[in-house]
Every structure is written in C-alpha cells, then in structure tokens.
C-alpha cells in the first residue's frame, strides 16, 4: 500500500513538473496551430500514464488523475506568473482581471464601450496600462512615432482572431512588416492621386443618388444614419468591385447587409482579444455566427469581380495589377483576403464618421450655422456641390471633420503593434516592451488627453483647429475663443496626439479617400437640405448607443 502511494505521488510529481515545463513552452513560443496546442496539452499526461501504469484496470483512472494534475499545474502556473513580480510587465499597473486573462477585456467589449473603459483605465493608472497578460495600452503622444513610424513595431496578432485565420489575412493584418509593405504597394497605387480622381466619379454618382433619395423623404422623419449606411456600402461596392450593391435604390437594408456587418464586427472584436480562440471557433461550422457569413460573402464578391475583369478603374484594377499588364497578377487568395478588407474597413468607418458629424452639428447649432455659411459661400444654389475644387479653401469644413474624428474616431482602439518573441526588448522613452508584448496606442485616450487638446477637451469645439492654424476668420464670434490665441498657456493643440487614421508607413491607406468622401457628401447634403432633430429625440441616446 505504501509502495502504491509512493508510486502515485511520484507520478503526480512528474505530472506537476511536466505542467511547469509546458508553461515555459507556451510562454516562449507562440503558435496558433491547433494540433500543436493539442499535443502540448494532452500528450505529456497520456504518455506519462502509459509508461507509469501497465494495468488496464487502473489506466483510465490514472489518465484522468494525471491529466487533472498536469492541466491544473499549467493553469495555476500561468495565472501565478502573470500576477507575480517576475513577469516582464509587472511594473505596469492595471486591473488584476486584465493581468490574469484576455477574457477580461473580451467581455469588456461586449457592452460596445471598450474604448471608454480603456480611457478610464488610463485616467486611473496613467499613460501605460496593462490590459492583458502580455498587452499594454499607451497614451503618450511623444512615443507614437517610435511605435508607429518608419522604424516602428510590426502589426499585432489581433486580426488572426478577428478573421479566424493566421494564414489568410488581408494586408492590414499581416504581421511580417516586409510582406505587409510589399502587399501595400498595390494598395498605394489604388489610392494614388490618379486613382482617387477616378473614384470621385463614383462618390459623385452615389452622393447625387443619396440627395435624390433624401429629397423623396424630406417631408417625413427619416434616420439619416441609415442612408449614410446605404451610401457607404454602395460606394465601396462601386469603388472596390465595380458595382454590385443598390441599397440606396432599395431604400432599406436589402439582404440585411448592415445587420450582418454589425454582428460580424461585434464577434470579430471579441475574438480579436483571443486570437487562439478565434482559430478554434473558426473550425466549428456556424459557431461564429455572421462573421464567417460576412467573410464568405466578401470572398464571393471578390471572386466574381476577378472573373468579370476590369470594366472600370476600380480598386481591383490596381490590386490585380490590371494597370500593369506586363506584371503577373497576385495570388487569388491575396486578392480575396484584401476584398474582405475593402468592405469591412471602408463602408463601416465612413458611415460612422458621417453620422457622427451630423450628430455634432445638430447638437451644436452655432457650428452648424458656421459650416452652412461656408458651404453656401462656396457652393451657392445652382453650383455643383460635388466638384471638389473648393475643398482646400473650406477650413471650417475640415475643422468640423477633424473635431468629429477626434471625439468619435471610427476606430477608437487604433492599430495593435507587437514585439515578436524572437526579437529583443524595445525601449521607447521610459517604456520597456519585452518580447511577446502587444501594444495599443489607444486612439480615443490620446484624443481626449487634455495635454494634447485643451480647453474643452471632451467637448465639440471645431474652432480649436482654426485657432491652431492661425485662421481666426470664424472664431472671434465664438465666446469660447475669446482671450485665446495659439500662444495662450491654457490653449493646447498637439496634433501628434491626433491619430484617427494612425501614422507611419502602415497607417490607413484610405485616409485621403475617406476625407474626400466626407467632404463631398457633406457639401452635397447641406447645400440641399436643412437638417434638424426629430421633436422629442434625446440626443444623449446617440452616445449611449
């Protein structure tokens, strides 16, 4: 009996040692290969049982005991290490739930207000906050160039979870910087000045259609945000695929396109916090709901466009090297992956920005009146509001857009970056980033940092952009601007902290297109209509949703 107990204790001791060893493997080597995960999680206790127990009668019981000991040791070792002072990120404060598991932040995103939660963490803990076992959120404009600039960090792994794959990633999610920049070359041609002039025709066509459809509903209450959804999706379909969507014509969410997109983005955000889990669920049919439906729909549209060939100089005219007939076309899978990016990154963000601008104007009548006066001056009745020739001179329009993007950035989390496991630690200012660390330069927190934007940091005040540039043509009548000048000590305007499109060589490739889209649509809509809130509508519900 004593011998049996001694033998059992010995086997349990070995299972504990194996569990501790497995922790070191997971800590030093990152993989999303499910077979590798299964081998590390189950092979050691199985082999231990087979070698230590020879009788069939006790084999199952011994296996369960060894498996329980091994996995318990592994989990406890992980959790204790993550909150211990020897962890490489131990010096950085944060909630204990964030330190223990990324599930904490995954569940925090369910409310839809993850950006506000992270901002509150910065207000509580400071400029560097630990939001995951190996993840930091940073709010410090002085280090943004080092993190995101030419010599900045590679992209992080969250797109693996968002798209449920570590191999079929769109350009924006590729972690290898050299490969990312190679894939981006076609995008750069597709967003060149010459290409954008072609896309202006697409914007103008859909903006005219938007105005016509709004004209039909001008005597009734209508949700303008829905119409911006339809416009954005139709335009992106034209621009990326040469057509294929007619939501404006239908006047409703035909095919539940936006319901599908919104649900898919919610699921993608959750799995983005746990890429390994996204890989697992991606193998289970229907387990990820509409996320895979959206991905497959985008893939089908890309495939159809490639088969159809170039009818217009759309985005795929450049992505598929159709503008370079002597150059071979990229692999079809690359194009399919980038087709997903075109719809997801283009339609949703533009619609959010346009809707937020209208909200800000309706809740700030003074700003609305000043913008209306500027549009009426440059585009009086009868003038083509879709001709962009005056945009460079419309300083208040630019200020309105910038201020809205500051308060309501369509991508409030920003661009995740990563220090590879096989790299050396990265030192940025007084921040030390050990290998295996993911970093978020948190956009929303930077934009609402009073060290970068003051006064009225949390308020909509577009005059700050005029004041900063020395253009006071519209601000003297603004009571909030009285006594202020760019040299005033209470006035702070650090555009290094303004990053709605990120910065550096891996920033948003569609920035110029997005600005052009917003300018053209706003000029067209506000030249034609005077918009007001529905009687009784509580404007606070916009930010609450």
**pLDDT single digits (tens) 342-356:** 887 888 899 999 999
Question: Is residue 69 within 8 Å of 16, Cβ to Cβ?
Answer: yes
- What is the DSSP secondary structure assignment for residue 411, as one 8-state letter? S
Listing DSSP states for 463-515 in one string gives HHHHHHHT--SSSTT-GGGTT--TT-TT-EE-GGG--TT--STTS-TTHHHHH
**Are the beta carbons of 192 and 505 closer than 8 angstroms?**
no
Cis ω before 455 (30° cut-off from 0): yes
Work out the average pLDDT over 4-21.
81
Contact by Cβ (8 Å): 463, 481: yes
391 CB-contact burial (10 Å; exposed 0-12 / middle 13-18 / buried 19+) = middle
CA–CA separation, 300 and 339 (whole Å): 9
The reply to whether 360 sits in an annotated binding site is no
Task: Supply the DSSP symbol for 254.
Answer: G
pLDDT digit string (tens) for 69-124?
999 999 999 999 999 999 999 999 999 999 999 999 999 998 889 999 999 999 99
CA distance 349 to 337: 19
d(CA 449, CA 137): 14
3-state secondary structure 57-100: HHHHHHHHHHHHHHHHHHHHHHHHHHHCCCCCCCCCCCCHHHHH
What pLDDT is attached to residue 53?
A: 62
Residues 6+ apart with CB under 8 A from 115: 412, 413, 442, 443, 444, 445
Short-list 347, 59, 406, 103, CA closest to 228: 347
Distances (CA, A) of 38 to 22, 34, 41, 43, 46: 12, 6, 5, 7, 12
Please give the DSSP secondary-structure letter assigned to residue 325.
T
Strand 135-138 relative to strand 128-132: parallel, antiparallel, unpaired? antiparallel
Which residue's entry shows tokens 């191999």? 167
Cα 477 → chain centroid: 38
Say yes or no to pLDDT of 473 above 90.
no
Q: What is the pLDDT of residues 292-303, one digit of tens each?
A: 888 888 888 888
pLDDT in tens, 161-207: 998 889 889 999 999 999 999 999 999 999 999 999 999 999 999 99
What is the mean predicted confidence (pLDDT) over 328-348? 87
For residue 407, the model assigns a pLDDT of 98
Q: What is the mean pLDDT of the chain?
A: 91
Close Cβ partners of 35 (under 8 Å, ≥ 6 residues apart): none
pLDDT higher than threshold 80 for residue 396: yes
How many angstroms separate the Cα of 488 from the Cα of each of 342, 460, 467?
43, 20, 11
Q: What percent of the chain has pLDDT over 70?
A: 95
- Rounded to a whole number, what is the distance in angstroms from the first to the last CA of the chain? 66
Beta bridge partners of 155: 417
Q: What is the pLDDT of residues 514-529, one digit of tens each?
A: 999 999 999 999 999 9
**Is the confidence at residue 6, as pLDDT, over 80?**
no
In the chain, pLDDT over 90 holds for what percent of residues? 68
Radius of gyration of the chain measured on its C-alpha atoms: 27
Tokens standing for 222?
Answer: 């209508």
pLDDT of residue 482: 66
């Amino acid at each position: 009996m004593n011998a049996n107990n001694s033998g059992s204790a010995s086997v349990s001791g070995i299972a504990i040692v194996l569990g501790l060893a497995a922790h070191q493997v997971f800590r030093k080597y990152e993989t999303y290969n499910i077979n590798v995960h299964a081998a590390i999680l189950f092979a050691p206790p199985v082999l231990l049982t087979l070698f230590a127990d020879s009788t069939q009668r006790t084999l199952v019981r011994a296996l369960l005991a060894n498996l329980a000991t091994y996995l318990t040791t592994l989990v406890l070792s992980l959790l204790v290490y993550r909150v211990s002072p020897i962890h490489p990120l131990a010096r950085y404060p944060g909630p204990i739930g964030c330190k223990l598991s990324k599930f904490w932040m995954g569940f925090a995103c369910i409310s839809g207000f993850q950006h506000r939660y992270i901002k509150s963490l910065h207000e509580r803990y400071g400029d560097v906050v630990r939001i995951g076992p190996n993840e930091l959120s940073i709010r410090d404009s002085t280090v943004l160039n080092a993190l995101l600039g030419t010599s900045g960090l590679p992209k992080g792994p969250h797109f693996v979870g968002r798209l449920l794959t570590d191999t079929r990633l769109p350009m924006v999610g590729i972690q290898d910087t050299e490969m990312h920049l190679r894939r981006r070359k076609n995008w750069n041609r597709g967003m060149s000045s010459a290409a954008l002039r072609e896309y202006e025709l697409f914007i103008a066509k859909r903006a005219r259609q938007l105005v016509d459809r709004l004209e039909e509903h001008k005597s009734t209450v209508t949700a303008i945000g829905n119409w911006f959804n339809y416009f954005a999706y139709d335009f992106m379909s034209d621009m990326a695929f040469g057509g294929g969507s007619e939501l404006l014509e239908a006047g409703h969410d035909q095919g539940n396109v936006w319901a599908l997109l919104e649900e898919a983005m919610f699921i993608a955000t959750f799995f983005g916090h746990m890429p390994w889990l996204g890989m697992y669920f991606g193998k289970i049919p229907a387990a990820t709901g509409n996320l895979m439906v959206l991905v497959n729909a985008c893939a089908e549209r890309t495939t159809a466009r490639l088969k159809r060939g170039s009818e217009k100089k759309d985005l795929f005219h450049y992505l598929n090297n159709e503008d370079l007939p002597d150059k071979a076309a990229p692999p079809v899978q690359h194009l399919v992956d980038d087709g997903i990016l075109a719809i997801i990154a283009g339609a949703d963000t533009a619609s959010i920005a346009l809707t937020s601008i209208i909200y800000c104007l309706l809740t700030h009548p003074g700003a609305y009146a000043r913008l209306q006066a500027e549009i009426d001056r440059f585009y009086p009745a009868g003038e083509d509001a879709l001709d962009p020739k005056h945009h460079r001179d419309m300083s208040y329009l630019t200020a309105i857009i910038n201020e809205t993007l500051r308060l309501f950035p369509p991508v409030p989390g920003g661009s995740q970056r990563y220090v590879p496991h096989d790299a050396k630690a990265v030192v940025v200012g007084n921040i030390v980033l050990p290998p295996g660390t993911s970093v978020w330069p948190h956009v929303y927190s930077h934009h609402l940092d009073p060290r970068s934007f003051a006064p009225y940091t949390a308020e909509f005040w577009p005059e700050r952009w005029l004041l900063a540039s020395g253009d006071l043509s519209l601000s003297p009548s603004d009571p909030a601007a009285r006594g202020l000048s760019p040299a005033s000590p209470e006035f702070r305007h650090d555009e290094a902290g303004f990053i709605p499109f990120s910065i550096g060589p891996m920033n948003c490739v569609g920035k110029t297109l997005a600005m052009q889209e917003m300018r053209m649509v706003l000029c067209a809509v506000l030249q034609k209509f005077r918009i007001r809130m529905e009687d009784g509508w509580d404007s606070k519900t916009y930010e609450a949703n």
